[in-house]
Amino acid sequence: MNKASLSKFVSILFVSLLFPNASFSGPASQNVQILIKEIKPRPTHPRTNERIIITCIYDDIAETLLLHFLENIGGVTITVTNTTSGESFFQTCSSTPNTCALSLSGEQGEYTIEIEDDNGSYYKGSFILD
């Protein structure tokens, strides 16, 4: 198992343990796993894999965005926007103790996630709620 697969497995396991009822609650649940990418990448060496620093899952039952930080990047400001309706949600939190939850309205639409850390790095992701 490579490092990226192991990180993904640990993230999913962590969320499953943190929210046991929301992870696999039956056929009505449609949790959405969201890819968060760094916009201003840190310097990397040639031929290195892209580092995943933040994993994110939308829990449709709790209407909550669950972020898991794989390393300490300090304080973060999270902005989630439903680009269909224009509705926005904001949250500030610390990347320690490794998790942060942001409640959303659960309205259908296309959403963008923008995260800025204390070091000036930006991360972005998107997802759709049907």
pLDDT (tens digit per residue) in 25-44 = 344 567 888 888 888 655 55
Residues 6+ apart with CB under 8 A from 71: 53, 95
The pTM is what?
0.69
Q: Cβ(57)–Cβ(31) under 8 Å?
A: yes
Give the DSSP letter of residue 118: T
pLDDT digits (tens, 9 = 90+) for 63-95: 999 999 999 999 999 999 999 999 999 999 998
Report domain 3-40+51-129's class: mainly beta
Separation CA 89–CA 116 (nearest Å): 14
The domains of the chain are located at 3-40+51-129
Give the burial class of 3: count Cβ atoms within 10 A of its Cβ; 0-12 exposed, 13-18 middle, 19 or more buried: exposed
* Percentage of the chain modeled with pLDDT above 70: 69
**Which tokens go with 98?**
């490794």
